[in-house]
Structure 1
Amino acid sequence: MNSEADIHVLHVDDEPDFAELTAEFLKREDDNFTVTTATSASEGLEHLSCGDFDCIVSDYDMPTQNGIEFLKSVRKNSPDLPFVLFTGKGSEEIAGEAISAGVTDYLQKKRVADQYTVLANRLRNAVERYRAEKERKRQRKAIETAQEGISILNQDGEYIYVNQAYADIYGYDPDEMEGKHWELIYPDSDTAMVRDVILPTVAEDGYWSGETTGLRADGTTFVEDHTVAQTDTSELVCSVRDRSVEQEQEMALTQFRTLVETLNDPVYVLDETGHFEYVNDAFIEIVGYDRERIIGASPTLIKSSEVVDRSEDHLGRLLSSNGPDSVQFEIEVQPAKGEPIPCEDHMGVLPYEGESFEGSVGILRDISERKERKQELEQTNTVLRTIVENLPMGVLVEDAERDVLMANDQLGETLGVPINSEEVIGRDCATAAEEFKPRFTDPEAFIEVISERLEHRELAQNEELQLTDGRVLERDYVPYTLPEGEANIWLYRDVTARKQQRQELEQANEFLSQTQTVADVGGWELDRRTGSLRWTEEVYRIHGVNIDFEPTVENAVGFYHPEDQTTIQDAVERVLTDGEPYDLESRIVTADDEVRWVRTRGEPWREDGKIVGVRGTFQDITQRIERQQRLEEFASVVSHDLRNPLNVATGHLGLVADECDSDHLDSVRRALERMEALIEDLLALARDNKEVTDTQPVDLATIADRCRENVQMEQGRVITTVDRTVWADSGRLKQVFENLFRNAAEHGGSEVTVTVGELADGFYVEDDGAGIPLDERNAVFEVGYSQSANGTGFGLNIVKQIVDAHDWQIRVTDGTDGGARFEITNVNFVDK
């Protein structure tokens, strides 16, 4: 701390050299000067907000804000702080404006060394006056707000001043006592003692202290501690304290100190000026400062300016007329050493003395562990949420209290009921289950089995449930440990059509129980508010880095191949700006400099209707890409190395046919045509083994009619009874119809009739041929299967691949007239 002789000066001048020169001369004039310099008014205000200064010296002509404007800013919070305008631009107008604005002194810069002597003297005088006035105000305030009763008597023994505490002790108002004689407050039996003992002692020694008996306005008496002192002007200053009240206060204070000293939580008391008046040992321990350093200091000692402002806002709420009795809020405490400590501040106001605000009291609680647990929970929930939202099944997660922690949109689609995943969060799971059960053929069993098996923390794996709409669901249950307790994860998947769903569900269960990603799919999340990026373990593995690696937007983009970085950046930006999801296949360069292919998907993450980030999945597809590349290489070989010799053979066959006539030539021609068909189907298999990403509305009747023209069916015909439009890849759907028409012509004869008709959720293609035996229907889609000597065995396999790529389903059954019927379902129709 500075002594009374020390003078801390804030010098603001936009010329740093002059400011440093002034500081040096002031130091030479008086070692007690300490000068802090600033080169602008804004920098000066910043220094003033976080430091204690005894006076300010400022230039006038400065950019942005001149000296008088700076003075007006200072006067808003420091109306009495000495402010000397030390400027090279002197004029009566400036001086007058400065005086009107409340400047303490005005001094013009000169090119003489003694100007600094003048400046130093004026600063010393201004600071002395400032400190003296500050002390007088403090004394006056101390008298006016003191709990001790204080009065002043003139030479005639009459009251000329009485503070409120003094008047309260005797049961009067101050104005009732002023002008009255001191005998007003003594019983008749004690006035002689005052005249004969107290007043003579004061006249001789200037001071007397002891016990007297006080007389209240209501006639009651009490024992009081009484002190009388004589001033230089022969006035008497009296101080009185009611011993009974003092004893009660001392007892209450002792109890308060005993209580807070035994508390493990840090306790502090701020006086009416906002400075520390009291702290307990626990407070000293957490902040790491000595008690002497804390008492009298501003909260800026342990808090940032932002935290101090927030605390003052909360104090303002407490002091408002309809404010609460106490407030609770989170802050960060900056100890003498180490990182900031997150704390919970419970703040209240000290009891008022009359109308006077006495200060505030607070209790701090270190919430570091709670914050860490909360952060751990948020991270766990974030990873879990990313997984839940991207799982291809209905998922509902319960917390330890059996309330819904999260659910995905797929849950409603799977159960066949409208569910808003956001609205269901926080609801009681039992209540939610009651709403779901009408969808099941055995609703009571649906509820009972949950309650019974939850009690023992076990449930049958892959349990099948029958829905009223005929679909079959597979349900699974996974215990899941969260930081706050045991959670339950319910998994629902439609297993009516796909046999592979059981295997995928088991993979999902294994992941959830081990807190890993589903199969080889990783999850990631980008929070645009904080710029933070989070990965699941699978993403770390794909990139070839360990879990200690801290992903950022920059280094994540850096993993992508240079030629793909702009593409992925643009895709993420479109999600953030337009909410447009993406599904990309790109290259990355791993930490081991290995180039790999990945499929990355991203979709908008919304809160309160606003896009706050991107969430998505990340999957290594290197093997698939390499297999696809090999297929494409194979297709190239087939197209070039087989077709060219085939074309040559076909050409020479034509020449031979012109020169001679032989029955063997037809066999050769059929063999060459057979080879051409094989090559076409092999190319289709090699090039079309990929997902459908570009769909558009396609009219089924129109495309069926066009495909009829491309297939040789002799006298065969195609009847189209469907009038629907579907979302599909037009080129690949064309292959479906052509292959099915060709299959019907090969197996149904020259006069086969093919019908294209409509189903509730799709369409069918049937013929009136011989049909497909029941025991062979599972094999018709396998590569190489054909009932015809002219068939390649690839056509129906190509159909199956294209149907799967559209996420449709296909099955073989009997036709209306005994032929084969291919039903394609799970089709998305375009609404009319």
Structure 2
Amino acid sequence: MADPHARSTIRILHVDDDPDFVALTAEFLTHEDDRFEVLTETSATAVLDRLRDEGEEIDCVVSDYQMPGMDGLELLRAIRTQLPDQWLPFLLLTGRGSEEIAADALNAGASSYVRKGGPDTYEYVATRIHEDLQRARAEQNSARFFTLADALDDPVYVLDNEGQFTYVNDALTALVGYGRGELLGSDPSVIKDEKARAAGERHLARILSDDGPDSVTFEVEIQPKSGDPIPCEDHMGVLPYEGTDFQGSVGVLRDISERKARERALTEAKEHYRVLVEQNLIGLYITRGTELVYHNERFAELFGYPAESNVLAGESFLPLVEAADRERLEENLTGVEADHGESLREPYIGVRHGGETVNVELLARGIDLDDEPAVIGTVVDVNDDDERLWQLRRERDRLEESTSIVSHDLRGPLSVARGHVELARTGDDAASGDALSTVADALDRMDELLAELLTLAKQGEVVSDREAVDLPGVAESTWRNVATAGTTLEVTADGEIDADPGRIKAVFENLYRNSIDHTDGDVTVTVGDLDADGGARGFYVADDGPGIPADERTAVFESGYTTADDGTGFGLAIVAEIVEAHGWRIKVCEGRDGGARFEIRDREYPIRPRS
């Protein structure tokens, strides 16, 4: 069915074996509504031929019942069978009829059944045509919506004007654990508590108000059939009105459990970091240029001054490091201040009051202070071998990295999602489908980044409990998790190493994925021992792919660094975190076959023969 709203006319195809009657009907209908354009045929087969013509735009069929060769009911069944994608209203207009014929017509898919009569009949026919067109458009839009909703990975629901479920897709039933039969016809109390239902009603009232938004997004807890409540975002809108009558609402849910967990983890980390600063376990400073604007007690104490805040305020930071480091410190502080929001972490040789030197690590980030650029940072004594402080430094660094990644890497997918949601609101079906598909891709991208980010944060925790891990066994078992067609694994390693079993698996899986993702075609991956005097001191994972250029071999371990269009840049960063958490060392070099070779060495726990 073509959209008559896109044209100024409504094209009606009328078929009757009486040429005089079709001419009379055309005259009366065009008199009733000057938007009607009545096309006529005298046989059912001619109607089918015209409907099969893709260039012909027909909005409605009006047919006689008794016709030679193929009657009106047979024509109706042929249209519904042979042209199922055409949402054409079909009005049966007949001089002879009965309740049985009327029932057969409606059961076969006729939109209306009208007995022929005098001139007043055509006023009724014109009214029926308008109502049937409106209903057909609503059914067509509904079918398009449900087709799209069924294809979405996000849970989708529709509530009628009484607030009862009339549609749920597979993703929603999977989320809540209820079957369709348990949800359809029920109200949201099945999956929402009183607080959540009240929130939904409150936001729906906003949409229905005269100056309300077209849709709203709010957080809600969904109660599954079993298990804990699931935090979700509910994107709610209303169904198109039929006249002035409210038809119901539609919603799309998104499980935000991982995001909420990440937010809690970041909040806890920030609170922990705040406590560290307040308890003077980390030296904190603020500078403008090279001048110290503020510092805490620990900062002064670290450089050999009385443990008081701001005893060095107004002084230059530069004399607190060796002369050879001062130019670099000045460049770094002024550079970070100028590049607002950028950060750095570098080692320096500090000079304590009285001339004693101390190795320190300095972190700096650009900020706005009283509407002017400044630098905030921390200083840690890296000579201190206390295990607790070493772990605190690692937590601080991971917090800094996590915050940077979240603010940078998720900004792109969020912008894509917002832009295509606006495009979807244009109402064009094809554009809406493409836009929603792009939104789904962008949201999936964010989910992938958040999952990788959480993994990165967890894998960096210091390994305290180790077990004997069989290298050939873990190399082969993890390969089965990632192997694809055309890939081959060769294991020459023969020993065991003390490690965290779960995290060593993540090392192999991420190194395998890196080889597979960056090689076009077949790839062979080799796992072997690193030979050294006195026995093996580590292992390597190598491939025969294109390799990694020498000038990129350090950068590949940085979070967010990737050369793949769909990569997250966290795979090798996770490997580096796990290696460091074990106290190992990793480097990348060229393999014997020209590909990439990752060498992991362990001085304290060398590889030994399997027991």
Please, what TM-score do these two structures have when normalized by structure 1?
Answer: 0.27
**Which entry has the higher C-alpha Rg, 1 or 2?**
1
Please, what TM-score do these two structures have when normalized by structure 2?
Answer: 0.36
Larger RCO, structures 1/2 (Cα 8 Å, 6+ apart): 2
